[in-house]
Chains A and B, each alone.
Chain A
């Protein structure tokens, strides 16, 4: 079982749609959780941290369910510029290294 698993997609949605991604992680001792965004041929960039109580940043909402070991990202009112790969990231087993999921690709269409 991979340490961090995501549906690779692609998710094809129209502009204005709401879309949700989930990810599961295997290490129950993980303490830090993030969503990163990676555009084609670019480096990953931190989108938002994920807190136990859930958190929101504009159109983006992240949730953490420790009991089920899954993390979600909700994007409301999708924009064309949201098209990218979204990486679920968890601190791993050794020395708090970040472990990346394989990413979920989102394509927002006009």
Chain B
């Protein structure tokens, strides 16, 4: 019954590795997002997809590559992980492009620790 689910919940990995985070929503929403919350707790948009199409790509290193196989899934692949990538990554979805007054529904987050 989880509306927006992310896996894994925790991820500990060494520098230089490649890892993926998966996100799925069963709300029928058209738009999905990846946000990063750093140690100072600021939430920053990374990517937005509307019905599988990339809409927003903020200033994010090329090592981060989102993939949306269908509008219910938005995965995040990270190459050559660095210490500074340690953060909590949240997936979110909304009914259509833009908040439309309903805001976003967030997944429970993936806590990534790079050692």
Q: What residues make up the interface of A, taking CB atoms closer than 8 Å to B? A: 32, 34, 36, 42-46, 49, 85, 87, 89, 91-92, 94-100, 102-103
Contacts and interface: CB of A to CB of B under 8 A. Distances in A.
Q: Classify chain B's interface size.
A: 20 to 34
A47 B105 CA distance: 11
Contact of B103 (A42, A92, A98): A98
Given A42-B108, A43-B108, A91-B99, 8 more contacts: A43-B109, A44-B106, A46-B103, A49-B102, A85-B41, A95-B56, A96-B99, A102-B42
Interface string B43-63: 111001000000110000000
Contacts, number: 57
Interface of B: 33, 35, 40-45, 48, 55-56, 90, 97-109
Contacts of B42: 100, 102
Nearest to A96: B98
Interface residues of B, dominant DSSP: loop
What are the 9 closest A-B residue pairs judged by CB atoms, nearest first?
Answer: A96-B98, A43-B106, A100-B43, A46-B103, A32-B99, A34-B103, A97-B45, A43-B108, A43-B109
B93 to A, nearest CB: 12
A100 B107 CA distance: 16
A46 to B, nearest CB: 4
Contacts of B33: 97
Contacts of A43: 90, 106-109
Contacts of A87: 43
A36 B108 contact: no
B109 to A, nearest CB: 5
Given A87-B43, A100-B43, A103-B41, A32 B101 contact: yes
